[in-house]
Chain A
Amino acid sequence: MSFDISLILDSLPKMLSGIGLTFQLLILSGVLGLFLAFVLLLMRLTEKWYFSFPAQIFIYVFRGTPILVQIFIIYYGLPQFEAIRESIFWPILREPFGCAIVALTLNTGAYVSEILRGAVLAVDRGLLEAGSALGLSRNQRFIYITSPLAIRLGIPPYSNDVISLLKSTALASTITVFDMMGIARTIVAETYAPYEIFISLAIIYMIFTFFIQKGFGYFENFMSRHVKK
């Protein structure tokens, strides 16, 4: 069994040309997902059941089912309905890329909102009591005390979710998106050389993961420079 180096060198540029799509999937879903997560968090934290309950259901469903199933439902499933095909969203939902973004956004939104909720709960109660004792209202305590501290607490688990998101972008290849994974699979189908191609691709993903972790590490240290004892 030989290891075909020339094949690797030949395929790398092709796979790397998919970086654009991989990053678009990552950044777009990441940012949109973060917004969604904040909205879900606020819905979850209110005492009004008609906000809190739907948010809980949403989070429960998206965390309890495989992403691949979510992607398939959106890409293959939604076109079943005429209402969807005639809606303003159709241009997005018709495209594999659009469906992938929608699915990844909804999924990461659910996970990140739970991360944020955990961070909010982890803020030292004593600080909130001090805020109460000083006369700060509930909203004021949330804005000035809870949020800044929760964000700092949430950075490590959030960085893990970003890495998960990166890995999930590879699933877009199953609905014909030609990101790095999609390109790799076509090369493997043509050349029957899964080892060379897939291992190289794995290394590429690992390198990205490394940089993401490092980046968040620096960011966390910067944010916590006064808060850590």
Chain B
Amino acid sequence: MEAITGWWDDYFFATIVVLKIFMASLLLMVIFGLIGAAAKLSNSIIAKKIANAYTIIFRGTPEILVVLLIYFGSAIALTALFQVFDPSIKYVDVPPFWAGTFAIALIVGSYATETFRGAFLGVEPGSIEAARALGLSNIQTFIYIRIPEMWRIALPSFGNHMLSLVKDTALISIIGLNELLFVAEQATATTGKPFTMFIIVGLIYLGISTVITLFVMGLEAYGRSHLRAVK
């Protein structure tokens, strides 16, 4: 156990990095998911085709491949771009944090498009008709009727997306980001106790997953609170 003592703060900061990635990619994932869902629900054939392609591409491609592609690929693309302005630039480095965050947000976002689309379609048509009949405007209907029902429908799947996001952060260590697995690898080199070091990583991830799961369960209970039967 003494082996670990020197490494607590490294693990701590690495956990912070993981949480930062999670937050950033969560925001992006929601944005990508909403745009994709909107495209699939729209009347534009082109938008639908693009959104469907988005889903097919990211559902069928290994996550690690996406991370590598975006990391290396964006470096090359940006280098080429910058070389247009300043030919003396040899190499533009894309920070692994952002390449990785963007990559996993894209991946989970492709699943989120289906979740949001399903949630939108899952709203009782009767509620919408009733709102219209009562004279609510489109925006009012959207805010007061659609959204409350939508987030309740989407919540279980959305919870799974958040868990996927957390677990996918581990992939970013492959492109050199100083997060948990990376720290564990370094710690192994000096302590010679790989099992211990990696188990700690596992436990930290388990802890984060647990917190997210509990949070989602709490939200689900809140979402159902109006359904308590009246005896």
Inter-chain contacts of A167 with B (CB < 8 A): 61-63
CB <8 Å contact, B61 and A205: yes
CB <8 Å contact, A69 and B198: yes
Known A-B contacts A65-B205, A202-B69; the reply to A81 vs B195 at CB < 8 A is yes
CB <8 Å contact, B64 and A163: no
Known A-B contacts A163-B60, A181-B64, A205-B61; the reply to A66 vs B198 at CB < 8 A is no
Known A-B contacts A68-B171, A80-B193; the reply to A205 vs B60 at CB < 8 A is yes
- Nearest CB in chain A to that of B173: its residue: A68
CB <8 Å contact, A61 and B206: yes
B57 interfacial by beta-carbon distance below 8 Å: yes
CB <8 Å contact, A64 and B76: no
Number of A-B contacts (CB under 8 A): 123
Cβ 8 A contact of A170, one of B62, B80, B210: B62
CB <8 Å contact, A194 and B61: no
- Nearest CB in chain A to that of B180: its residue: A69
Known A-B contacts A1-B80, A163-B60, A206-B56; the reply to A198 vs B198 at CB < 8 A is no
Within 8 A of A (CB), among B178-209: 181, 184, 188, 192-199, 201-202, 205-206, 209
B163 interfacial by beta-carbon distance below 8 Å: yes
Chain A contact-residue range equals: 35 or more
Known A-B contacts A168-B62, A174-B64; the reply to A77 vs B167 at CB < 8 A is no
Inter-chain contacts of B221 with A (CB < 8 A): none
> CA of A170 to CA of B174 in the docked complex: distance in angstroms?
13
B170 interfacial by beta-carbon distance below 8 Å: yes
Which B positions have Cβ atoms within 8 angstroms of A?
56-57, 59-66, 68-69, 72-73, 76-77, 80, 163, 166-171, 173-174, 181, 184, 188, 192-199, 201-202, 205-206, 209-210, 213
- Jot down 26 A-B pairs with beta carbons below 8 A, ordered by A: A1-B76, A61-B206, A64-B205, A64-B206, A64-B209, A65-B167, A66-B167, A66-B171, A68-B173, A68-B174, A68-B181, A69-B170, A69-B198, A69-B205, A72-B194, A73-B199, A169-B62, A170-B62, A171-B64, A174-B64, A174-B174, A188-B68, A198-B65, A198-B73, A202-B66, A205-B61
